[in-house]
Every structure is written in C-alpha cells, then in structure tokens.
Structure 1
Amino acid sequence: MTTAPQAQPDTTADRRDYYDRIRPLNLTPLWESLHALVPREPQTPCVPALWRYDEIRPLLMESAALITAEEAVRRVLVLENPAIPGRSSITQSLYAGLQLIMPGEVAPSHRHVQSALRFIVDGKGAYTTVGGERTTMYPGDFIITPSWAWHDHGNEGIEGVAEPVVWLDGLDIPMLRFFDAGFAENDDAKVQQVARPEGHSLARFGHNMVPVRHDHVAPTSPIFNYPYVRSREALAQLQKQEAPDAWLGHKLRYVNPLTGGAPMPTIGTNLQLLPRGFAGKTHRATDGTVYSVVEGRGTAEIGGQRFDFGPRDTFVVPSWAPLRLSASEEAVLFSFSDRPVQQAMGVLREAFLQDA
C-alpha cells in the first residue's frame, strides 16, 4: 500500500509576514540575498565602453567658451560608465575624466585626500605644480598628484607656442566615497610658490639611486612625472630583446623606485606595446581597468563586444570581463586600475586563457 505524500505547507505568506515584521527593526534575512552578496564569481554592474577622442574634443573645446578653468576649478568631462550613470565612476572603484586647460588659464590650487594621476593626451606646454615643484606636460607623460598634496595647473605654452592641452584624470574618488573618507581644501593663493627647480624629483630618484640622507615615508612614489620619452624607450628596448607575451604584448608597470611597488597606493599603472599584427590571446582579471591609447590602432574584444580603437581613445574593461587585444598597426596603451588595493587585500585573480 502506497502512502500518499503529505502536502507541504505554503510558507510564502508566512515568510512575507515575517519579513514585514522584522523590517521596522532594520533587520533583513541573509538567506534572501546571500548569493548576490557572495557570488560564485564577480558580477560587476559596469559594462565595457569606448570613448572616441575625435568625438569628445570638439565638446571639450565648446566647454571652454561656457566656463573658465578658474570658475570650474577643474574643467573636466567625466567618463561615466554607461551602466552606472550619475555616479561619476568609470568602474566601481575608479573615476576618469578628460580635463582641458586653455592657453593663459590657471586651474587654482587645492588639495584632497583622493590620489590622482594625469596622463597627457593632447597638446603640450601646460604645467602642473605639486607640493612646490612644477613640471611641464608632454603627450604620454604620466604625472602623479599624491593624496593631500597641494596642486595647481596652468598653461603658459612652451617655446613661444601655446595650445589647448587635454589630459586624462584618474582618481580613486569612488573608493574614498565608499569609505566616507573624503576631505578637500582650497588654497589661499591661486598658484603655489615654486620651491624647487623643474625635474628635481626625477634627478634625485629617477636613476635607480637615492640621496643617502633621504628618508621617504610617504606611500606614493617620490617621482611625480614619468616622462613618456623614457617610458617609450624602455618599451622599444624590450621589444628588441624578447618576443611579445602572447596575451599582453610588451607590457611594463610603472614603479615606485624606493619600493618596487606601485607608484600610488590605490592605483596601479602600466604601459604596453602591441606590435603591428599582434593578435593576443584572451585574459581576464578582477581589477577593472581603464585604457588610454597613446599611439596606433587596433581592436579590444571585451566580454564579447568589439571596440576598434585609435590614438587618444579611452576604453574600460570591467572586472573579470574577458579581454583580447589585437593591433592593426603598432600600438601603445597606457592603463590604470585598482590592482594595488586588490593585491594588498589578497583578492586579485587573473586568468590567461588558451584560445581555440
């Protein structure tokens, strides 16, 4: 004789009633959200995207007629990830924007706890002053503004020529916002007093040597301008001496010369060369990464989407999105991500796939 299965009680209404009763006590059941809170693999809301510089530049120039650099404090068009509008974020942890400074303008001095990088995209002859040292900007230069360092920007031209200068700003603003740890302060003066000659920090720390009495305790590199002419030469020498990596081409990371670690505690930076005809294999990593194209043309296949890139374009690869790079002509890419933070936390993961 077969026993009929007993009907299971319908607990949906009971659970709903229970949830309604605990909500006023600011309680919520973990079992309803556990899989979203602790996913099997990263589930970023961000999406791949590319910003074409040729489309953005006219809009940047138009903004110069609408607002001055001094009034704006920083005249920037923010590169927002299309999937998270209104958050001024290109990834969950990073901010990116294109900043314009016209000839004769000054972006006034201020400081903030957010660490910043400037990667020069277009034009030359503008300057930034950081902590009393000024440096002239040239395309491809990677410049650091450390946390809580006074900094101002200006554009006086060079060699009698003044032109608009555009650079890519990269900051850890979303990261600091997450920690509710943001502070900022405006300077009493529009521009800083220059206290050291240009090139001072590079002369002291840029040759694998350190002044014997120097005791550096700051977490940021003592070099604040990594000139493109030097970085590009390093890539060229690497290209002559070894075959390209099957996934990355020829890729170098910028370092703090005193520690060998990242130049900034929250943002890692790289420069890579893809030889003409390079067809890379697919790789992925948990650090969502922003790329700026310095030279050349190619294709980035990101999460199944194809993006054809050219000089001065910017594109973003979200966390754990598969990336495959190829180059129709020799290309150089600058990139930045939150890798140092993930490494410090021990959560960084990478995968280098064997494409069929």
Structure 2
Amino acid sequence: MTSTPENRGRNDQRSQLEMLYAQMAPKGLLPLWESLHALVLAEPKSPAQPWRWGYAEVREYLMRAGDIISAQQAERRVLIMENPGLSGQSAITPSLYAGLQLILPGEVAPCHRHTQNALRFVMEGSGAFTALDGEKAIMQPFDLVLTPAGQWHDHGNETDQPMIWLDGLDIPTVRLFDASFAERLDVAAHPETVPAGDTLARYGHNMRPMRGSAADRRPAGRPLFHYRYADWRPALEAMAGSADIDPHLGHALEFLNPADGGPILSTISAHVRLLPAGFETKPRQSTDGTVFVVVEGEASLLLGDEEIQLGPRDVVVIPSWTPHRFLSRSQTILFGYSDKASQMKLDLYREHNH
C-alpha cells in the first residue's frame, strides 16, 4: 500500500487507540465503538442451531444409563439435549434447557425445590407420578405436568414399566440473573398432603373454589399443575373440526394458567398444534426459540433449502427468528414450549408471518 499522509494518519490513530485499549483493559474498561455492531443487532442472530434428536436413539442411551446409575445416585437421571451451537452451556436455546428423564420401576427421584421453573411432557409410560407439595399427578403419555419455582417436587414409579418424559426448564434464564437457589427435603418423598388428582378436581374445569374458602388451597397465582392429554387432545381435535385453519400455525391451542389467563409458568409458554395430512404452513419467524415434540404423525421442518424429517416423539428446536415451515406427511400433532412468557413481560417478543 502506498504510504500517503492519510494512510499514515490512520495508522497513527490505530496505534494510539491500541495503546489506549491496552492501558484501559486492566481497569475493566472497553471501547463501545469497537463492539457496538455486535451488541445491538439489527435483528436476532441466535448462536443456537436448528437440531433434531431422534427419540429412539436418545432412548437407547437413556436406558443404558439406567443400567449403570440409579435415580437416587443421579438425583435426576437425565440426558441433556444440548444445542450444538451452545456447547458447554447445557442449553437447547440461549434461555431454555431440555432433557429426557428416566424413572425405572420402583424408583423415586428425591424431593427438592429450586428457583427454576420446570415442565414435564410425558413421552413414554403410564402410571408413574410427579408429586407437587405432596400431591401426586398420575402421569399418562403426552400429559403436561408443571413444577413451578419454589414448590417441592419428587417423582416416583410404582408401575412395572419405565417412565420417560421431557424436562423443560428455564435454567439458562435463571443463570443469566445469578438467581439460583435450591434445597432438598430430608426425606426422599414429600409426605402426601391430599389425594392424587385433588387439584384437577378443584381447578381443572374452568372453575375454582371461592377465593378465601377452606377449599382454595393452591397458590393463588398458579393453582393448576396437571394438563392431561385426555383433555387437551379432544379439545384440539374439536377445534380442528370446525375452526378456520391458521395458515402459519395450523390449528393451535395454548395452555393457560386459569388464575389469570396467562402463560402456564412465569418464564415459559406452551402450546399444541394439529396439522392436517398434506398441510404446509406458510413461512413464519418469531423471537422465541421453540422446542417441539412430535406427539403423533410424520412431518418435515423446512428451513430454506434444509429439510429435517420428523417422526413420533422426536424433539426438534427452532432458534429465535429462524424462518421455517412445517409440511405434514400425515396428520401431525406437535407440542411446543418457548420463552415467550419471559419475552412478553420484557416487551421483547416479536413475530413475522410471511
């Protein structure tokens, strides 16, 4: 390069800046002008990658782990679904965690509670339980069970078959705020406080005990924690039989907190979709990175020129602001959860339907 006064001036400025940066760095000071473009993006650019976990393959590894380590030893025998773009973070999206948990016959996953919100979506098995503050939710395939922040919970399997479910937590979100607390109960299982299903009977039918009455015993802000497949599947089917289909979502229903009509957890939203056979959604993108489970059917996730094949019980993640379409090969039911609840509270959520 030809040396000119202008080039010499730029080089001199750069050398002065580099000297300034070297002197500032030990003081915990950095120049914003060197990184502003990477800190304030024109649109989301998630480090997470779209990724599929085939259920049969993950299940094989999980059962092998079950032969080696007990639920009591592990506290929670779970295989983390770590996004390849988030190596070392135990995260499926930058704000969410996902893992498959195994409880074998006769086992109890010990009782604890923590700051993190969690949901359990049952993948396999029937009759095991999650207990919340001493009340058992008897779990069936594709039930959704919540363990909200700060509530005691344990899991047990009194059947003769293994029980597997998807754990979805806001672990990365809590980590971001450095706000994690956890404690264990001094016994493996919380003493039973009410019969199994008591909360469903009181709060699960678009009704609730009169406020302030002796029967109104659950936390006022989050009374319901068991959303049964036997209830949500017929509701979704009935809607699909009469409602106009949304071109971007298919037929979709959100799980709601009956106390306020909002998301099921303070940081996590969840929903289900029905895509008729042969239906292709129009392109859509949203800021909430979403984890999907294929409840039934076969479909393709279309990401530009990339096509990801999905079958029953497969798990797939779509990162924030990733344009995508679904093409159903047969009638397909999807369950999905995301951080939309957090984003709505923070005025961050945005979507674009093409």
State if a TM-score over 0.5 links the two structures. yes
Partner-residue secondary structure (3-state), 2:84: coil
**1:173 matched to 2:171:** yes
- Contact 2:266 2:341 survives alignment (8 Å): yes
Partner-residue secondary structure (3-state), 2:86: coil
- Contact 1:342 1:348 survives alignment (8 Å): yes
How do 1:129-144 residues align onto structure 2 when only pairs under 5 Å count? 129-144=131-146
What residue identity is the alignment partner of 1:221? R
CA distances 1:46-85 after superposition (whole Å, capped 9, x unpaired): 1100000011111111001110001100000000001111
What residue identity is the alignment partner of 1:72? A
Moved over 6 A (4+): none
Match of 2:114 among 112, 124, 142: 112
- Contact 1:48 1:303 survives alignment (8 Å): no
Alignment partner, residue 351 of structure 1? 352
User: C-alpha displacement at 1:213, in angstroms?
Assistant: 2.8
- Contact 2:220 2:259 survives alignment (8 Å): no
Partner-residue secondary structure (3-state), 1:97: strand
After superposition, the Cα gap between the structure-2 partners of 1:304 and 1:178, relative to the gap in structure 1 and judged at 3 Å, is farther
- Contact 2:48 2:84 survives alignment (8 Å): yes
The 10-residue stretch of structure 1 (205-214 or 89-98) with the greater mean CA deviation from structure 2: 205-214
Partner-residue secondary structure (3-state), 1:83: helix
After superposition, the Cα gap between the structure-2 partners of 1:219 and 1:246, relative to the gap in structure 1 and judged at 3 Å, is farther
Alignment partner, residue 311 of structure 1? 312
Q: Percent identity?
A: 46
Cα separation, 1, equivalents of 2:133 and 2:92? 28
User: C-alpha displacement at 1:6, in angstroms?
Assistant: 5.7
How do 1:179-328 residues align onto structure 2 when only pairs under 5 Å count? 179-214=177-212, 218=219, 221-302=222-303, 304-328=305-329
Alignment partner, residue 41 of structure 1? 43
Q: Any unmatched runs of 5+ in structure 1?
A: none
Cα separation, 2, equivalents of 1:208 and 1:75? 35
Match of 1:95 among 94, 97, 111: 97
User: C-alpha displacement at 1:17, in angstroms?
Assistant: 1.1
Partner-residue secondary structure (3-state), 1:62: helix
Q: Any unmatched runs of 5+ in structure 2?
A: none
After superposition, the Cα gap between the structure-2 partners of 1:254 and 1:94, relative to the gap in structure 1 and judged at 3 Å, is same
Alignment partner, residue 19 of structure 1? 21
Cα separation, 2, equivalents of 1:229 and 1:92? 32
Partner-residue secondary structure (3-state), 1:71: helix
After superposition, the Cα gap between the structure-2 partners of 1:302 and 1:221, relative to the gap in structure 1 and judged at 3 Å, is farther
Partner-residue secondary structure (3-state), 1:107: strand
User: C-alpha displacement at 1:303, in angstroms?
Assistant: 5.5
Cα separation, 2, equivalents of 1:218 and 1:349? 31
User: C-alpha displacement at 1:304, in angstroms?
Assistant: 4.4
User: C-alpha displacement at 1:234, in angstroms?
Assistant: 0.6
**So what's the TM-score if we normalise by structure 1?**
0.94
CA distances 1:1-47 after superposition (whole Å, capped 9, x unpaired): xxxx9635122211111111111211000000001110100111111
Cα separation, 2, equivalents of 1:194 and 1:110? 15
Q: How many residues align?
A: 345
User: C-alpha displacement at 1:218, in angstroms?
Assistant: 4.8
CA distances 1:139-165 after superposition (whole Å, capped 9, x unpaired): 1100000101111111001xxxx2111
Partner-residue secondary structure (3-state), 2:337: strand
- Contact 1:90 1:316 survives alignment (8 Å): yes
Cα separation, 1, equivalents of 2:6 and 2:224? 72
- Contact 1:128 1:136 survives alignment (8 Å): yes
User: C-alpha displacement at 1:302, in angstroms?
Assistant: 3.2
Alignment partner, residue 80 of structure 1? 82
Cα separation, 2, equivalents of 1:242 and 1:113? 39
Across the aligned residues of Structure 1 and Structure 2, the Cα RMSD in angstroms comes to 1.5
- Contact 1:220 1:265 survives alignment (8 Å): no
